[in-house]
Amino acid sequence: MQNDGQSEGASTGQIPVEDGYVFRTLLDKMTDGVIVAQDYRFIFANPAMHRMLGYAHDEFIGIGFDAVVAPEFLGIWNERFRQRIGEGEEPLNTYEVRFLCKGGQDSLPVELNANRVTFGGRRAVLCIIRDISRRRYIEQALRDSELRFRGTFEQAAVGIAVLDLDGRWEMVNGKLCGILGYSEDELRNRTFQDITHPDDLQTDLQYVEQLLRGDISNYSMEKRYLHKDGQAAWARLTVSLLYDTENQPSHFIAVIEDIHNQRMAQTALADSELRHRLLMHNLHAGILICAPDARILYANPEASRMLRLDAGTMAGLKVADIGCEFADEHGNALSADTDLVRRVLMSGREMKDLVISITHPDVTERGWVLVHAYPEFDTSSRFKQIVVMLIDITDRQRLEAELEADRKLKAAALDAMTAHVAVLDKRGQIVETNASWRKFALRSQYAGDPTFLGVNYLDALSRVGGPDQSLATQACEGILSVMLGRSPLFQMDYPCHCPAERQWFSLKVTPMDPQRERVLVSHENITAIKLAEEAIRILANTDALTGLPNRRHFFETAEEEFARAQRYETPLAVLMVDLDNFKSFNDQYGHAGGDAVLRSFALVLSGLLRDSDSAGRIGGEEFAVILPHTSLDGACAFAERLMERIAANPPDIDGQPAPYTLSVGVSEMSPASKDFSALLILADKALYRAKQSGRNRLVVLTGGDSTHPGSNAA
């Protein structure tokens, strides 16, 4: 900026220019501040600079650096000023400092671009100043939001992850690392495809394609992940899609619940039941027929197997002579005089259900048999023979021990499950419950037996009335569909709230055997998952400052209401609302005061909305309201009530009322309205005209492009 003529500009604070009108208009209209400094004082500033710092023109011109530059930046400011008005290379052009507002109580973060110029024949510094306080506020708000999200993310009782659209893990919490066995860094170097079981991958990818096409909003499935140790780990996966500011898909968010133990317990239980049935089906009995002198006359193949002698070798021998040791169930050895055949001969009575052990000379393990022995007489009532039936219970003894261990294991497995589990027979009667079920019954102060044994679950569901009746009916039909073989399984989520606590459960019904003689009904508490999903949904749809729907969520709701109004030919009105002179309000009260005004306005606006109405923050101090089933007159009446409420209820800032006014644009849907965006444009034009007309008023603009003056609250 060369000035080789008079130095009048330096004394008046104005910059002389060759084409003065254009240059002066440019300076006056700039939103960025422009200042010229010389002799360690400011000798020129444009109107934007005055507005930023709260000075009148005459107050600012001639003021020293120490009155404007914050103390912590004054030293570097003076040093760079000296460098610029001196000789040699200039310092960096662009950097950030803080300026003091008028009075010195408030300060403003700014970004400046400084250059060396000649002014009045001497060197000066020209600076272009940009207010970056809003950017600083947004950066801090983003950091705070990230901290809140991180807290929820890391403390969740289920695995949570954020993945990019290629399936790469970008964020994972500690719970997920524990489920899959990988560290956070190891997961970030993989995709979900890398650790998904091959048999489940195609189904997962099909869901992902549907999600990206917009066919579904989320999906849930049970799948197997490949644990770091190489084993398959069952999990219940719920996936939603996140969108960026342009409403384009950006990331997936996944909630992963560990159900591996539950699935393994179900599989082990089914395998155990099948094994036991097969063992019982293949049991046989051995038969020995002995003469009155106790010699063996006949032995069947099963007896030969039990006694490890063929029938020919045993013939003619007494039981005591076949080389095996026999003992009763208490371990007392049976002698030749006390073996079963002798006892029958001596007593002449039937002996039954006696447990005897058999030990073979070449086998260390004892065999066990259940013995029935009875005498047969001829027509003269003389002993003819004695029949001994040996039922091999070696496997049964072992099986009984296994069954007892299995029963204990089954009970322990059921009791270890966090879900409330009941086993129903084919009539719907409860035959078994787990500890979680019983504890829930006691906690709910159930008056009857907390085990519910003998209670018909289907009858109990059919007697449910009130608001839960439809859910009970759905559950009853789902259980019957599994019992009757119409469905392989049934699952539904349902709320179970009480005054002190909000809860959700997932009901799952699965058959326990192929004949469906038993079905397992589990109620898994999924409150943590639902709360996590709800928190994510709120974060995605709500404006953090005002609590109103954000721009994206409002537009989704508005598009639905517009389509509904078109379909049913009902009236629909829309308002665009702007807080007048909000920037000057921010300058006066600071951004904290501005935030208080926005929150106060949102509270007043929400209090006027009906259940069917919706409002959203479109950006900055601009809001939109959609009023279904509302004519143009009704919308104007709503706008007037809103303006009256705002005027009557100014927010309190630092103990003083801080009044403000609104400009409102109103429009209504007409046959010419093609879509909601066109309708909103009309309302926005009306808002613009209201602001042009002096603010603090409402203007109506319809499809015919005719402006209807509204009320003026001034």
Q: What is the 3-state secondary structure (H, E, C) of 277-288?
A: HHHHHCCCEEEE
**Residue that is last in its domain, among 105, 131, 157:** 131
Kindly report the CATH number assigned to the domain that includes residue 499.
Answer: 3.30.450.20
The whole-number pLDDT of residue 401 equals 65
558 and 667 co-located in one domain: yes
**Between β-strands 697-701 and 662-668, what pairing exists: parallel, antiparallel or unpaired?**
parallel
Residue 439: inside a domain, yes or no?
yes
Coil, helix or strand for 38? Answer: strand
The whole-number pLDDT of residue 196 equals 93
Residue 323: inside a domain, yes or no?
yes
Phi and psi at residue 495, in whole multiples of 5°?
-80, 150
The whole-number pLDDT of residue 266 equals 76
290 and 169 co-located in one domain: no
69 and 163 co-located in one domain: no
299 and 437 co-located in one domain: no
Domain of residue 12 covers: 8-131
**Residue that is last in its domain, among 131, 154, 186:** 131
The residue among 174, 171, 170 whose CA lies nearest residue 156 is 174
Q: From the candidates 257, 432, 524, 621, which is the catalytic residue?
A: 621
DSSP 290-311: E-TTSBEEEE-HHHHHHHTS-H
User: Amino acid letter at 337?
Assistant: D
Residue 612: inside a domain, yes or no?
yes
Contacts of 302 (CB under 8 A, 6+ apart): 284, 285, 286, 287, 390, 392
> 194-198, long-range: CB within 8 Å, 24+ apart, which pairs?
195/225, 195/226, 196/223, 196/224, 196/225, 196/226, 197/223, 197/224, 197/225, 197/226, 197/232
pLDDT digits 0-9 by tens, 68-125: 999 999 998 888 888 888 866 778 788 889 999 988 888 899 998 988 888 888 889 9
43 and 87 co-located in one domain: yes
149 and 247 co-located in one domain: yes
Residue 188: inside a domain, yes or no?
yes
Residues of the chain with pLDDT below 70 are 1-20, 87-88, 151-152, 269-284, 336-338, 397, 400-401, 403, 406, 497-500, 704-714
In whole angstroms, give the CA distance from residue 187 to residue 228.
Answer: 10
560 and 689 co-located in one domain: yes
Residue 250: inside a domain, yes or no?
yes
Phi and psi at residue 102, in whole multiples of 5°?
-55, 135
The residue among 312, 292, 288 whose CA lies nearest residue 300 is 288
User: What's the token pair of residue 356?
Assistant: 């005897």
566 and 685 co-located in one domain: yes
In whole angstroms, give the CA distance from residue 34 to residue 15.
Answer: 11
Taken as a whole, the chain contains a residue count of: 714
User: What's the token pair of residue 694?
Assistant: 């002096």
In whole angstroms, give the CA distance from residue 587 to residue 514.
Answer: 76
**Residue that is last in its domain, among 396, 431, 461:** 396
152 and 127 co-located in one domain: no
The residue among 711, 604, 630 whose CA lies nearest residue 665 is 711
Residue 105: inside a domain, yes or no?
yes
Kindly report the CATH number assigned to the domain that includes residue 703.
Answer: 3.30.70.270
Contacts of 493 (CB under 8 A, 6+ apart): 504, 505, 506, 507, 526, 530
Residue 76: inside a domain, yes or no?
yes
498 and 435 co-located in one domain: yes
Q: Specify whether the backbone of 99 is left (phi greater than 0), alpha (psi in -120 to 50) or beta.
A: beta
Contacts of 91 (CB under 8 A, 6+ apart): 80, 83, 84
User: Amino acid letter at 700?
Assistant: V
Torsion over CA: 313, 319, 323, 325 (sign): positive
- Annotated catalytic residue 621: yes
Residue 234: inside a domain, yes or no?
yes
Domain count, the chain: 5
660 and 553 co-located in one domain: yes
In whole angstroms, give the CA distance from residue 546 to residue 539.
Answer: 13
pLDDT digits 0-9 by tens, 362-411: 777 778 888 888 888 888 778 788 888 888 877 776 776 676 776 777 77
Do residues 368 and 337 touch, judged by C-beta distance below 8 A?
Answer: no
In whole angstroms, give the CA distance from residue 533 to residue 502.
Answer: 14
C-beta neighbour count of 697 within 10 angstroms: 22
148 and 243 co-located in one domain: yes
In whole angstroms, give the CA distance from residue 691 to residue 53.
Answer: 25
C-beta neighbour count of 594 within 10 angstroms: 24
